[in-house]
A and B are shown apart, each in its own frame.
Chain A
């Protein structure tokens, strides 16, 4: 993937993540702390978390086209890095991580769901593109006949 194409994909993913993280915070917050009052800095949280979500995308960069195996391995590494990065940002130290297991589980699951959703949205977009190409192909074949 060329650098420009890769950066465009990162930017698209970043804004998708911002939206999905905002939704996740709303849903989790409404369940766990419905009466909590938040400061203006709360608005920055989805932006920061989304940045944590896209930074590990660097492992997906390759000038050569990746094989399916390489692609899947790098995807697993990417997910692992996202989890580590977010834990580092959310939790102050290892003790807090040990004490708040419920929160750790919730964050892990949320990250996995958002990660999956981003890929589903990406797949959906590609499906639309494939459908459009198929339609154009049919038109071309008809025109040639």
Chain B
């Protein structure tokens, strides 16, 4: 695929056009990546595709090789890998807090101690998320503004 980048004036709107023969999985991946960078996640629920604003996402969890996006009331499945989302959403204040979970720090109401060196993140929805001991130093660093 040929890649062309054109510089435009400040007054013009930035856009990305893809010219392709077929909308393949690779093309869909590129589109999903761009949307994610722009603050939109693509999720599937009951065979329908939805655009989910990143600001509405509470956390993203990997369960049995599937990745799920959790908003306040709804759960969507996504085709993106957790590590990909971790990398892209780092700038949006998402942080890995366990092996299988990315937490939106903007949705956390408070942090409280848990068992065995762990901490618990209490979300604005009242839900509690386990912060694994291994990821506590990363969280402390992030809260001091060191990870974003």
Contact = CB atoms under 8 A, between A and B. Distances in A.
Interface stretch (A35-43, A81-89, A103-111, A122-130): A122-130
A30 interface: no
A144 B93 contact: yes
Interface in B69-121: 93, 105-106, 108, 110-113, 115-119
Interface residues of A, number: 18
B97 to A, nearest CB: 12
A133 B140 contact: yes
Which secondary structure dominates where chain A touches chain B?
A: helix
B interface residue count range (under 10 / 10 to 19 / 20 to 34 / 35 or more): 20 to 34
A127 B143 CA distance: 16
Contacts of B140: 133
Contact of A130 (B106, B111, B145): B111
Contacts of A68: 115-116
A140 B143 contact: yes
A143 B148 CA distance: 13
Given A1-B133, A140-B143, A127 B113 contact: yes
